Structure 1
């Protein structure tokens, strides 16, 4: 890293990382609300808009905003790599002494950013989580599944996971540098960051409506996030396979005893029904356990490959150097 780059890093007090995918309707409102908040802070800042392979008018709209908003920095990924990968790209390239991550849909209000920064500085905190205390704008299904997710994570991963804290948070430079050294291929930040153990606090806020467009986290992606969270931070599924195997052994022994008793009493033993049910039961148990084991083996395989989770095509900050 050159001396010029070091000087530029020191000059940035705050970086805001915003992963973006097909948000052409949201971008004007995002700039309209985010820029005044950051300008009012009175400190040098940058906004990293990470374009995660958008296929709509998001790229040209970002370029238009960049011409009138010099603090806006565009990081373009070569393909759609996923929300967490786009967030990783932004965190790894942010230069600020403090880094805030937020979604583009404005459900997490940027007006909270000054409060997060003030709390971090006043209490010497390295992490400030944005915690949703009011999710009335979400559907009932979304609220119930979110509650179930955090309930499950706190029991499997640990109580260090703050309830209802998503990816709206503030990080200090030491936390960001620590994250950059971690080898995790699939980084689930809402679990990984609390796990680090840095001094942390919380800012409560009311979750708003999506200002425009459609959600980028349908049920399928929420399910995948939950599954990745479980397999990345807990070996409970593997232990569950062991428990199921032990239970199956007990059932098998009980069935064996029942068969011997029936044989000893001279009763006629029904053949096909009991045989088919037994074969199907133990076959399903074996496939389930093999599938669970396969998920962990697949993660080992991915880690051994050591392929990057994202590839950057362009960074407007590098264009200016």
Structure 2
């Protein structure tokens, strides 16, 4: 199908069966009222519930809904990457399926981009009272840390709700990186940007797909992908342990010269434990970066698309598991 819309909206989703009807009910009127041609790319990230069937059902009644299914669960950022690479619009917006980021903000974001001549419009959360206290505190720590490590160009409390021009999307598509964290990567490109503030809402259905474990993984991924600070930490730890060894050597030499009795195995045992722990920590940090180099050299695809309704002649008569083999790195 040869179709070049003005706006593409990418919606990564994993096990969001209950949220699909509400998402369509709120997103479709907003986009119909924009007055521009559009498409919605619903990227099913290997859901194990009825998300794929619910999307196909909605797609029968909404011709602009394009359904993309990944062969397995590849993660939120990988699903977002798939959507960005397949989007055909002059402008590409991304929004989560849980409706915590309101789709009603999309027309305003497009208007700001067109009137302001900017390439990126960030959706910035001005009010996060709908989130739990723990989520607000950890998010605040995350953005403070990232702004300190990566730079102040990273907007505080701007997640993956944003609008990108085709130029920005083409640059992102050309990057060789395998593990992408867009909330840090997009600001680092330096394109002119603006912000649209909104009140974050409660999840419309289902449970969060970012529990504590994934939040920690995102923070670690962000740190190691955009900063060498952990390696510098290993350097400082190594220097500290070296200075401690010099002090222990001086102490031992002085004790031997004066004939004082050494404490025995306790001091030696503690010193060995300390130095061994520091060495293992430094090796672990180094190994994280070596592992990333190894993954980059392998160049294996971060995700595989097994179904794209835009490539099917009769999408209403297909299933979510219809094979349409593609792989992207």
- Do these two structures clear the TM 0.5 threshold for a shared fold by scoring above it? yes
> Aligned residue for 2:113?
120
Residue in structure 2 matching 1:152, options 108, 120, 145: 145
- Rounded to whole Å, the distance in 2 between the matches of 1:17 and 1:90 is 6
Residue in structure 2 matching 1:250, options 222, 243, 247: 243
Aligned length: 314
- Rounded to whole Å, the distance in 1 between the matches of 2:29 and 2:135 is 31
> Aligned residue for 2:59?
66
The alpha carbon displacement at 1:263 in A equals: 2.4
- Rounded to whole Å, the distance in 2 between the matches of 1:271 and 1:131 is 60
Q: Which runs of 5+ in 1 are unaligned?
A: none
The alpha carbon displacement at 1:49 in A equals: 0.2
Normalised TM-score (structure 2): 0.94
The alpha carbon displacement at 1:160 in A equals: 1.3
Alpha-carbon deviations, 1:208-265, whole Å to 9, x = none?
Answer: 1001100000000010110010000001111111111001111111111122222233
- Rounded to whole Å, the distance in 1 between the matches of 2:258 and 2:156 is 58
Q: Which runs of 5+ in 2 are unaligned?
A: 315-329
> Aligned residue for 1:223?
216
The alpha carbon displacement at 1:268 in A equals: 1.3
> Aligned residue for 1:83?
76
- Rounded to whole Å, the distance in 1 between the matches of 2:143 and 2:94 is 20
> Aligned residue for 2:234?
241
Normalised TM-score (structure 1): 0.96
- Rounded to whole Å, the distance in 1 between the matches of 2:36 and 2:313 is 21
> Aligned residue for 1:310?
303
> Aligned residue for 1:38?
31
Greater Cα offset, 150-159 or 85-94: 150-159
Alignment of 1:1-321 (within 5 A): 5=2, 8-9=3-4, 12-320=5-313
Helix, strand or coil for the counterpart of 2:18? coil
- Rounded to whole Å, the distance in 2 between the matches of 1:245 and 1:29 is 54
- Rounded to whole Å, the distance in 1 between the matches of 2:296 and 2:54 is 36
